[in-house]
């Protein structure tokens, strides 16, 4: 996985590759030019070729956080760099280097098998390790940025491989330096720092309810509980197309939160590190009557209003049209803006 390894074979190139199985919405999309990246050192040559031909381009991992059009013009880099290994371990923490194309959930399960708890709250989040720091994925009170030591990337601007420290990644809620600088960095490897000292984090409502009366569940118990909760709430993309949580939970000033709480006593919210309040977007959408509703081939999942689904033969425009209706209604009813979480390509 090192960028200074001997040059690997040229990446496989496929014309008009179907991406139906590489996006969890199940949209019938295709890539004009698809490069399968299996080693970091393949990237400079591909990017030079893209620059020479003046092609548009993007990186595609597991396709769990994207909305694809029917045709992706130009070049699509399929991130398939695998491999994971413990690099160093001491009394305080363990460092693990992981390829950008590794399946996220499988990696979380592997850490527990290795006796390295900490990521269990993030179980069953779809996608790849390389996409995790871009979005700073999070769930049940844990964000991945807390556990990242560094991120190795190819800098498209300088045409060189660089390593960004955790601090340089500028992690914030569903945000990062990578997200703030789109089309500049290609994540090839993520190095995680897992502390030896572990403490159960079960303060989020669903987990607190699951472990009511149990003060200290094991990491494995939390992992299984998170899988169970997510399975009950979120549809399996193999059964019905979706990208998980479609909207970010909006963060509002404390004053606005108090005003909303007085008007809506049942308002679901969580404290935010900035001193503001994070509102439950799913609750806001549910209150507007969208849960289980359908608009053509697009719909709102019947068990979780935060999830938009493709009922079959849907296209990006179907989902985005429904999303706009939801955003407008929530804005009108609560004065709160909802931001779309998946990337619109």
pLDDT digits (tens, 9 = 90+) for 96-152: 999 999 999 999 999 999 999 999 999 999 999 999 999 999 999 999 999 999 999
Secondary structure class of 53 (helix, strand, coil): coil
pLDDT band for 253, please (50, 70, 90 cuts).
very high
Kindly give the pairing relationship between strand 148-155 and strand 71-79: unpaired
Q: Is 261 a catalytic residue?
A: no
Ranges in the chain annotated CATH 3.90.78.10: 241-344
> For residues 154 and 161, what is the distance between their CA atoms, to the nearest angstrom?
4
Q: Write down the catalytic residue from 3, 150, 176, 245.
A: 245
Catalytic residue among 120, 143, 152, 341: 341
C-alpha 42/C-alpha 11 separation (Å) is 6
In this predicted model, what pLDDT tens digit does every residue of 259-287 receive, in sequence order?
Answer: 999 999 999 998 887 789 999 999 999 99
254 tagged catalytic: no
Q: List the CATH code of the domain at 241-344.
A: 3.90.78.10
CATH 3.30.465.10: which residues of the chain? 84-195
User: Looking at the chain, which residues constitute the CATH 3.30.43.10 domain(s)?
Assistant: 12-79
Q: Is 18 a catalytic residue?
A: no
- Of 197, 215, 189, nearest in space to 116 by CA: 197
Q: Return mean pLDDT, the chain.
A: 94
CA–CA separation, 223 and 168 (whole Å): 30
Residues 28-68: tens digit of each pLDDT: 999 999 999 999 999 999 999 999 999 999 999 999 999 99
Q: Residue 129 in contact with residue 100, Cβ under 8 Å?
A: yes
pTM: 0.89
Digit-coded pLDDT (tens) for 62-108: 999 999 999 999 999 999 999 999 999 999 999 999 999 999 999 99
CA angle centred on 66, ends 60 and 70, rounded to 5°? 85
Task: Determine the CATH number of domain 12-79.
Answer: 3.30.43.10
Fold of the domain built from segment(s) 84-195: 3.30.465
Contacts 24+ apart (CB under 8 A), 39-42: 39/5, 39/8, 39/81, 40/1, 40/2, 40/3, 40/5, 40/81, 40/152, 40/154, 40/161, 40/188, 40/189, 41/3, 41/5, 41/6, 41/7, 41/8, 42/8, 42/9, 42/10, 42/11
Catalytic residue among 22, 174, 230, 277: 174
**172: helix, coil or strand?**
strand
- Sorting pLDDT into bands at 50, 70 and 90, what band is 214? confident
């Amino acid at each position: 996985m090192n960028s200074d390894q001997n040059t690997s074979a040229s990446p496989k190139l496929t014309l008009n590759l179907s991406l139906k199985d590489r996006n969890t919405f199940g949209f019938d999309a295709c890539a004009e030019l698809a490069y399968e990246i299996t080693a970091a050192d393949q990237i400079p040559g591909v990017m030079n070729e893209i620059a020479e031909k003046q092609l548009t381009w993007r990186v595609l991992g597991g396709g769990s956080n994207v909305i694809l059009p029917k045709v992706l013009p130009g070049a699509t880099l399929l991130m398939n760099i695998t491999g994971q290994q413990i690099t160093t371990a001491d009394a305080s923490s363990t460092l693990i280097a992981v390829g950008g194309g590794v399946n996220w959930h499988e990696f979380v399960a592997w850490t527990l098998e290795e006796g390295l708890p900490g990521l269990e709250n993030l179980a069953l989040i779809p996608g790849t390790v390389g996409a995790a720091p871009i979005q700073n994925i999070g769930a049940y009170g844990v964000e991945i940025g807390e556990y990242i030591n560094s991120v190795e990337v190819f800098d498209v601007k300088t045409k060189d491989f660089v390593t960004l420290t955790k601090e340089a990644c500028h992690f914030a809620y569903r945000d990062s330096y990578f997200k703030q600088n789109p089309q500049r960095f290609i994540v090839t490897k993520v190095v995680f720092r897992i502390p030896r000292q572990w403490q159960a984090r079960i303060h989020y409502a669903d987990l607190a309810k699951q472990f009511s009366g149990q003060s200290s569940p094991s990491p494995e118990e939390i992992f299984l509980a998170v899988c169970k909760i997510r399975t009950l709430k979120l549809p399996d993309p193999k059964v019905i197309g979706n990208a998980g949580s479609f909207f970010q939970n909006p963060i509002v000033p404390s004053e606005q939160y108090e005003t909303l709480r007085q008007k809506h006593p049942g308002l679901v919210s969580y404290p935010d590190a900035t001193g503001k309040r994070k509102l439950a977007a799913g609750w806001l959408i549910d209150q507007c009557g969208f849960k289980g509703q359908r608009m053509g081939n697009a719909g709102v999942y019947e068990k979780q209003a935060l999830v938009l689904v493709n009922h079959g033969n849907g296209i990006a425009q179907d989902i985005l049209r429904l999303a706009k209706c939801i955003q407008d209604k929530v804005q009108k009813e609560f004065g709160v803006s909802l931001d779309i979480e998946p990337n619109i390509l």
